[in-house]
Chain A
Amino acid sequence: MKQSALDIAFDQEKKFADYCRTGNFVRLKGTTPNRLPHYRKLVFNVIDDTLQTAYPLTFGLLTKSEWKELVNDFFGTHNCQSYQVWKMPYELYEYVLNNDLPIKEKYPQLLNLLLFEWMEIEVFMMEDIEAASLKTSGELITDELILNPEHFLLATEYPVHYKKANEITEADKGIYYILIFREPQTGKVIFIELSVLFAWLTEQIKTTGRSVYQLSKEASEVFNIPRQQILENSQSFLNELYNQQFILGFK
């Protein structure tokens, strides 16, 4: 069947785009000799630079050839959906998450590391979320607390937040809770490691709107720690969160 005219323009574009994504040789009509490789180079460099900037720790962890292969396979086979290039690196995380890759076996901390690095970008860049109306004075233990809504509570298996990525081993495997939030005035991203008790308390404060005093009874049962001890420990923890502006005020 004869190709329709419409097919020629778009068929050529598709072949050209495929070449830019994979680097696999392609023959196109009416091109100037030796000029196509510039496009492959320019396109690939943008992707590679953007990903290196987003994931400096992951880039440092992988060998040069592992990194290159990862970026190449990702860009060649995955259809990037984000029209904002700063969001594209999240698609690399999803790509690693959803595919069987040998580097995931070699580096069990890889997924945690990617997500941790992405979270810093996401929290720094995400749209503003208005906090609930609040009072500035109150009691941290007994009042209902208003939290900074611009945050994520991340649970990881490996301590990617305090240990060098290449020094993490199987022996470090556990559960780590990392609170990541944006300082309201400066926009700076703050990381705080939470114990399992405080991760639980934070989650409960957020979802139930109950005070720490009210929650301490249940916490005591869940974690098998005397209620009085929980309340004493909470005081300094809550103070710190208040000073760092994760707790913004009181209802």
Chain B
Amino acid sequence: MNQFAGIGFRKDFANEFLEKKLLQPSFIEVAPENWMGIGGYWKKIFKQVAEQYPVTLHGLSLSIGSADELDWNFLRQLKSFIKEYNVQVYSEHLSFSKCNNAHLYDLLPIPFRKEAVKHIVQKTKQVQDFLEMPLVLEVVSYYTAIAPEMQEHEFINAIVDESDCRLLLDVNNVYVNGFNHKYDAYEFINKLRLDKVAYIHMAGHEQVSEDLIIDTHGQPIIDPVYDLFDYTIQQLPHTAPVLLERDFNIPEMEEMLFELNKLENICQKHWKHETVSA
């Protein structure tokens, strides 16, 4: 079993998890929206998987960044799901996915503005108080900023400072953003509150034109992202769970295993004598 590297659990390879056990992730991650309030076949499978691996949650619908009020029905259901499966990490996206009382089922960038910070801090505190655990917010990829009045890292750090939430550092997203918005990914990492990083994502992406990368999670991780990851974890003052994300274009198990092992090996190289802490 891995010590640091986990994987996103997908229906496509549920059997691999339960029977062949080629993959030995240290944990699995799921979107709570896809697994709570269900029954039948997939509930049975999920229960079995959750008995064998620790579960982390990576939500989709919280929409921390929009003017819409929090959905308390959702949060109540989420809280009991967290209890039922003894979940230790609940992360979400620093973006919005619901606006004007309508879900969009995608992650849209929040204007980097002070008033948005204020509102997000307030909602984040409400979520943390209610769930009685820190909210871990992910640095998302985006293809354009909207009406920015502050730098991206200032925006993120202000939210972390004022809400005392944790950070989900998606190293691929930082790479993608650096490319798309022409900044240095290493410098960006250095400017973040790395002491607040509780969780790391790694994924592949697709370059669709000369100046644009789309964050597809449908390709293998490229070497420059591994390099950035190797650098990043050396800057962290503590260890953190690392997740391999792959949502589309699912490859053979061997390829997933190769990537998962590679991540685990990088972690082992730097964190050999540490135990994982979230």
| A32-B104 contact given A10-B67, A83-B33, A128-B43, CB 8 Å threshold | no
A8 contacts B by Cβ under 8 Å: yes
Interface hit among B20-28, B110-118, B186-194: B110-118
A121 vs chain B, min Cβ distance (A): 11
Residue numbers in B under 8 Å from A125 (CB-CB): 38-40, 42
Report the bound CA distance from A83 to B67 in whole Å: 16
Contact digits for A125-147, partner B, Cβ 8 Å, 1 yes 0 no: 11111000000000000000000
Chain B residues near A196 (CB-CB < 8 A)? none
Please give, as numbers and ranges, the residues of chain A lying within 8 Å of B66 by CB-CB distance: 10, 13, 17
Stretch at the interface among B84-92, B94-102, B235-243, B257-265: B94-102
Instruction: Give Cα A50 to B34, complex, Å.
Output: 13
Of the listed stretches A38-46, A172-180, A218-226, name the one at the interface; the rest are far from the partner chain: A38-46
Say which residue of B104, B143, B214 sits within 8 Å of A20 (CB atoms).
B104
**A13-B67, A83-B61 are contacts. A42–B106 as well, Cβ < 8 Å?**
yes
Q: Does B51 contact A (CB under 8 A)?
A: no
> Which residues of chain B are within 8 angstroms of A35 by Cβ–Cβ distance?
143-144, 212
Question: Is B252 engaged at the interface, CB distance under 8 Å to the other chain?
Answer: no
- B148: chain A residues at CB < 8 Å are 30
Give A124's nearest chain B residue, CB to CB: B40
A17 to B102, CA, bound (A): 9
Chain B residues lying within 8 Å of A46, measured Cβ to Cβ, are 105-106
Asked if A238 lies at the interface with its beta carbon under 8 angstroms from chain B, I say: no
Q: Map CB proximity to B onto A1-25 as digits: 1 under 8 Å, 0 otherwise.
A: 0000110111011101110110000
Whether the Cβ atoms of A32 and B99 lie closer than 8 Å is: no
Query: Contact at A43–B105, with CB atoms within 8 Å?
Result: yes
A80 touches B105 (CB 8 A): yes
Interface contact A20-B39, CB-CB below 8 Å: no
The reply to whether B147 and A29 form a contact with Cβ atoms under 8 Å apart is yes
CB distance from A174 to the nearest CB of B (A): 31
Contact status B115-A187, CB under 8 Å:
no
A218–B214 Cα gap in the complex (Å)?
Answer: 66
Residues of A within 8 A of B36 (CB): 84
**Complex Cα gap A161–B229 (Å):** 53
CA distance A10 to B115 in the complex (A): 9
**What distance in Å separates the Cβ of A133 from its nearest Cβ neighbour in chain B?**
19
Chain A's closest residue to B37 (CB) is A127
The smallest C-beta distance from A77 to any residue of chain B, in angstroms, reads: 10
Contact of A9 among B37, B38, B113, B181 (CB under 8 A): B113
Across-interface contacts of B119 in A (CB, < 8 A)? 6, 9
In the bound complex, do residue A12 and residue B114 qualify as a contact, i.e. CB atoms below 8 Å apart?
no
* Smallest beta-carbon distance A5→chain B, Å: 5
**Structural contact, A88 and B100, CB atoms closer than 8 A:** no
Chain B residues in 8 Å Cβ range of A188: 41
Contact B99 A17 (CB under 8 A): yes
Which B residues touch A126, using CB under 8 A? 38-40
- With an 8 A cutoff between CB atoms, is A186 at the interface? yes
B interface residue numbers (CB < 8 A to A): 33-34, 36-44, 60-61, 65-67, 71, 74, 96, 98-106, 108, 110-111, 113-116, 119, 143-148, 181, 212, 214
What residues make up the interface of A, taking CB atoms closer than 8 Å to B?
5-6, 8-10, 12-14, 16-18, 20-21, 28-32, 35-36, 38-39, 42-43, 46-47, 50, 78-86, 88, 124-129, 150, 182, 186-188
10 sample A-B contacts, Cβ–Cβ < 8 Å, listed by A number: A5-B114, A14-B67, A17-B108, A21-B104, A28-B146, A35-B144, A81-B101, A86-B34, A88-B103, A88-B105
